[in-house]
Amino acid sequence: MLEVIFYIAITAEAMTAALAAGRRNMDWFGVCLLACVTALGGGTIRDIFLDHYPLYWVANPYVLLLICGAALVTIALARVVDRLRWPFLLLDGLGLVVFTIIGCNIGMEVGAHPLIVLVAGMVTGIFGGILRDVLCNDVPLVFRGELYATVSIVTGAIYYFGLAANIQSDVVILVAIAVGFPLRVFAIIKKWEMPKFVYDKDLR
Amino acid sequence: MLEVIFYIAITAEAMTAALAAGRRNMDWFGVCLLACVTALGGGTIRDIFLDHYPLYWVANPYVLLLICGAALVTIALARVVDRLRWPFLLLDGLGLVVFTIIGCNIGMEVGAHPLIVLVAGMVTGIFGGILRDVLCNDVPLVFRGELYATVSIVTGAIYYFGLAANIQSDVVILVAIAVGFPLRVFAIIKKWEMPKFVYDKDLR
Amino acid sequence: MLEVIFYIAITAEAMTAALAAGRRNMDWFGVCLLACVTALGGGTIRDIFLDHYPLYWVANPYVLLLICGAALVTIALARVVDRLRWPFLLLDGLGLVVFTIIGCNIGMEVGAHPLIVLVAGMVTGIFGGILRDVLCNDVPLVFRGELYATVSIVTGAIYYFGLAANIQSDVVILVAIAVGFPLRVFAIIKKWEMPKFVYDKDLR
């Protein structure tokens, strides 16, 4: 089940990245590349940090075709996709939670410290979006928007401590999703944000 | 012969990067660093993706001196270089094709899937320019300009399938260059571009 | 002693990064992430280049808590910190020198070529700041400001050649700091800069 949601999430990430590319008037190649970077960038950076090879997409190259396909479909259906704002946000939120769980899994697999397991989950969940924003020449949204990284940390903590408490893996996954996903949805609806640090003097 | 063209291409990449740095009023150090990132960035990212160590420039550090030398010469000769727009574009195009072939080679060397071999060639050919544009705070040109990544994919496909068909290596290299290089030159002359995806609504 | 200065330097880097984040109105999470990237990014990139695993912060995860703590304290004390411009610049300069020495050490540990040892020191010293500026959507300051990378290269050269000449390690470290640190301080006071390359024609 986690794998099915994983592919759905990757597809959703690819489609939102394609729309971001369209707002920058990128060409079709740029749309596909940005979709790949967004959907796979988080997991790739996590694997490089943890020296965990081969990278997922190097071992499973067909995922690249899935992502490029999703990106090109988005171009064709941009007018329809446009009306699907909420389904997208929901899929993106589900993706965040699932990416986090998968990332924590890899962290545990390589025997990392609990703190690093949470970081591995968070990097998987949010770094794709950070790379997308850097390539689009924006200050990353995750630094300023509604709760996003926090959702990832909460999800990862539930997952890690659930497993550490010897609760059955399937149950832990369901609970982590059942807490993390609604948390993200409410954050969007209620516009929950982390407090901001506003500082307007130049140090230099 | 591939190695000679490789060094010519690296030098050309370094010089175009130096001009880009000059347009941003960078200091001499910035010019050299941007030249190194542009000339070696694509191959470095490819090697990190494929866990292929040591990195080329770590094993052959004198290439760093070559690149910094080329960058500093560019500063000295900026007025002359300026009139050399076409030689530069030609060398850059030749470099794209040669970098692609070298990247595909490394991909095959580590036994990657054919799709990943093409990606390895493309990353080698275009990611140096993407890093240059990110450091210069631009949306990468490759996402919007004339055919560039496409040239890399076509070149890589000819090279890979040529070798897979057991044609002699030298012949395949020549054919790949003989197709890829003119394709890039015509793309510049005729302003061939990929279709663009223009989308102006904010999803969020 | 080097380790004590290392932690002081990491804390100083985290605090200057937090102020940079505040100027971009980032939220508390963004402040912490930017602080981690700035303080640890240079060493992380060096280790990835040299295939030197595990990464420092993966093996010593508590450093992440130290950095986030320093970043949050900076938020709380922004008004006080503001008046501490000079202490900060001094700590940042000391950090640059110490990061460089540590980076050179790792380079020698993996048996790299002398040129790569200097590069390893420089990457450790300056790439954290480059990543910070890229995430803040600026052209990296190190490409344009007062002597910074040069200080790193001078420090690294003294350290490397001092050890190569069989001088006692502690003495070499002290000499490297005693030259590199004042060099940076004078560069700020006297506004020493590398010559700039100003070029205003578009190649394309």
Q: Which phi and psi angles does A203 have, rounded to 5°?
A: -70, -40
Q: Quick one: which of A118, A153, A145, A185 has its CA closest to C27?
A: A145
- HSE of A45, CA atoms in CB hemisphere, 13 A: 22
pLDDT over threshold 70, residue A189: yes
Q: B132 and B20 in contact (C-beta within 8 Å)?
A: yes
Look over chain A and give the mean of its residue pLDDT values, rounded to a whole number: 88
pLDDT over threshold 70, residue A202: no
- Can you read off the two tokens belonging to residue B144? 């919007």
Phi-psi region of A16 (alpha: psi -120 to 50; beta: other; left: phi over 0): alpha
- HSE of A120, CA atoms in CB hemisphere, 13 A: 28
pLDDT over threshold 50, residue A204: no
Q: Quick one: which of C174, C126, C168 has its CA closest to C151?
A: C126
In this complex, do B61 and C201 lie within 8 Å of one another by their Cβ atoms? Answer: no
User: A148: pLDDT confidence band, cut at 50, 70 and 90?
Assistant: confident
Residue in A24, A65, A145 closest to B139 by CB: A24
In this complex, do C144 and B44 lie within 8 Å of one another by their Cβ atoms? Answer: no
User: B43: pLDDT confidence band, cut at 50, 70 and 90?
Assistant: very high
Nearest CA to CA, how far is A69 from chain B (Å)? 15
pLDDT over threshold 80, residue B26: yes
C79 touches chain A (CB under 8 A): no
Look over chain C and give the mean of its residue pLDDT values, rounded to a whole number: 88
Q: What is the DSSP letter of B170?
A: H
- Please tell me the total number of residues recorded for chain A in this structure: 204
Rounded distance, CA A146 to CA A126, Å? 13
- Can you read off the two tokens belonging to residue C122? 């420089």
B136 touches chain C (CB under 8 A): yes
Rounded distance, CA A135 to CA C13, Å? 25
Beta bridge partner(s), residue A196:
C27
B142 touches chain A (CB under 8 A): yes
Rounded distance, CA A4 to CA A8, Å? 6
Q: A31 and A75 in contact (C-beta within 8 Å)?
A: yes
In this complex, do A194 and C18 lie within 8 Å of one another by their Cβ atoms? Answer: no
C143 touches chain B (CB under 8 A): yes
In the prediction, which pLDDT does B82 show? 67
- Please tell me the total number of residues recorded for chain C in this structure: 204
Q: Quick one: which of C100, C32, C43, C16 has its CA closest to C66?
A: C32
- Per CB-CB distance under 8 Å, the chain A contacts of B200 are 22-23
Tell how far CA C167 is from the center of its chain.
Answer: 26
Helix axes B85-109, B28-50, angle to 10 degrees: 30
In the prediction, which pLDDT does C201 show? 64
Amino acid at A9: A
Rounded distance, CA B152 to CA B149, Å? 5
Q: Is B84 helix (H, G, I), strand (E, B) or coil?
A: coil
- HSE of C112, CA atoms in CB hemisphere, 13 A: 33
Other Cβ atoms less than 10 A from the Cβ of C128: the count is: 26
Q: Is C145 helix (H, G, I), strand (E, B) or coil?
A: coil
pLDDT digits (tens, 9 = 90+) for B100-128: 999 999 999 999 999 999 999 999 999 99
In the prediction, which pLDDT does B181 show? 92
In the prediction, which pLDDT does A201 show? 64
Give residue for tokens 């605090």: C15
End-to-end CA distance of chain B: 52
Q: B147 and B187 in contact (C-beta within 8 Å)?
A: yes
Separation in Å, CA B71 to CA A71, B26, B36, B76, B147: 38, 12, 9, 9, 26
Residues of chain C under the 50 pLDDT cut: 203-204
pLDDT digits (tens, 9 = 90+) for C115-163: 999 999 999 999 998 998 888 887 777 777 778 888 999 999 999 999 9
- H helices of B77-168, in order, are 78-82, 85-109, 114-135, 149-164
In the prediction, which pLDDT does B93 show? 86
Q: What is the DSSP letter of A193?
A: B
* Neighbouring residues of C131: CB distance < 8 A, sequence distance ≥ 6: C37, C38, C41, C42, C45
| Closest residue, chain A, to B122 (C-alpha) | A33
Q: C45 and C123 in contact (C-beta within 8 Å)?
A: yes
Share of chain B above pLDDT 70, in %: 96
pLDDT digits (tens, 9 = 90+) for A69-100: 999 998 888 877 767 778 778 888 888 899 99
Task: Give the pLDDT mean for B17-25.
Answer: 85
In the prediction, which pLDDT does C82 show? 67
| Closest residue, chain C, to A152 (C-alpha) | C29
Other Cβ atoms less than 10 A from the Cβ of B151: the count is: 27
Residue in B53, B58, B135 closest to C140 by CB: B135
Rounded distance, CA A51 to CA A56, Å? 12
- Can you read off the two tokens belonging to residue A90? 């929901």
Nearest CA to CA, how far is C42 from chain B (Å)? 15
Measured on CA atoms in the order C31, C58, C159, B43, is the torsion positive or negative? negative
Q: Is A147 helix (H, G, I), strand (E, B) or coil?
A: coil
Question: What secondary structure does DSSP assign to B141-152, as a single string?
Answer: GGGTSBS-HHHH
In this complex, do A194 and C27 lie within 8 Å of one another by their Cβ atoms? Answer: yes
In the prediction, which pLDDT does B58 show? 96
B194 touches chain A (CB under 8 A): yes
Where along chain C do its domains lie? 2-190
pLDDT digits (tens, 9 = 90+) for A149-186: 889 999 999 999 999 999 999 899 999 999 999 999 88
A51 touches chain C (CB under 8 A): yes
pLDDT over threshold 60, residue B166: yes
- Per CB-CB distance under 8 Å, the chain A contacts of C135 are 130, 134, 139-140, 143
In the prediction, which pLDDT does B32 show? 93
Separation in Å, CA A42 to CA A13, A74, A185, B128, C186: 11, 22, 21, 20, 41
In the prediction, which pLDDT does B147 show? 81
Q: Is A176 helix (H, G, I), strand (E, B) or coil?
A: helix
Amino acid at C121: G
Measured on CA atoms in the order A162, A165, A166, A167, is the torsion positive or negative? negative
